[in-house]
Amino acid sequence: MSRLVLATLLSLCLAPLAPRAEATQVTTLIAEKAAANADGAMPANASYDVTLQTTSPTQAELVSAFWMDPATGQFAANVVTSDGETRRVYGMAVLTVPVPIPTHRLMPDTILNKADFRVVPLPYQRLSRFTITDIKQLAGMQVRQVLSADRPVLTQQVSPPLVVDRGARVSISYNHGRLTLTAPGRAITGAEAGQTVRVVNLASNRTVTGIARPGGIVEVTQ
């Protein structure tokens, strides 16, 4: 054997082997495949909750083939295990979204805060387009309809707090150029800040319409 051939064989023997892919939880691999197949259609904060058949391997190096029914979440996949064996796995991949739900029953007129909620993952396809999924949109809001415990909140069930309550005493501020006059009044309707509200001027017994401001003030411009 020539020295060149011997050196070549020796270099091949001493060359480091290509690193194998690390074994990963099959549920993680399937969730990544499902998200990739969604092609950007899934909400930014959504993820896939994957359930495997009990006979499926729990770890694998990669997914070599993947099929999924987007409507039901049922999938079939071929995964390659660490010993090089290809195994077929089946299960469900459900797209879920973290949703704030009340921890207790909340009555109308309650001002909400984050402590009133806990965040749980819920199936995206079961949510209404009116479902509030960001807890930041709930803090400081006022309840309009009873909120049941452990049920998602809909946009029509809450609103910004009223600054003028129906039947409440208000201060009517008349603005005409540089001239400002005030008069006592009583609200006929309720209103949020910046909304129009009808009030009775208690000094003249006339009904006027103005803009509700914080502090029970109604601005009327003439």
Task: Report CA torsion sign: 8, 10, 11, 17.
Answer: positive
pLDDT confidence of residue 211: 95
Domains of the chain from N-terminus onward? 21-96 (no CATH), 98-159 (3.90.1210.10), 163-221 (2.30.30.760)
The pLDDT tens digits of the residues spanning 68-116 come to 998 889 999 999 998 899 999 999 999 999 999 999 999 999 999 999 9
What CA–CA distance (Å, rounded) separates 94 from 83?
29
The pLDDT tens digits of the residues spanning 111-155 come to 999 999 999 999 998 999 999 999 999 999 999 999 999 999 999
What CA–CA distance (Å, rounded) separates 157 from 214?
22
**pTM of this prediction exceeds 0.85:** no
- Tell me: pLDDT of 193 over 70: yes
Q: Say if residues 176 and 196 touch (Cβ distance below 8 Å).
A: no
Q: What is the mean pLDDT of residues 154-177?
A: 92
pLDDT confidence of residue 183: 94
The pairing of strands 217-221 and 169-176 is parallel
Name which of 36, 28, 33, 32 is nearest 58 in CA terms. 28
Q: Please report, for residues 24, 35, 144, 161, the alpha-carbon distance to residue 158 in angstroms, rounded to integers and kept in the order given.
A: 44, 32, 5, 9
What CA–CA distance (Å, rounded) separates 25 from 65?
16
pLDDT confidence of residue 177: 77
Q: Say if residues 110 and 143 touch (Cβ distance below 8 Å).
A: yes
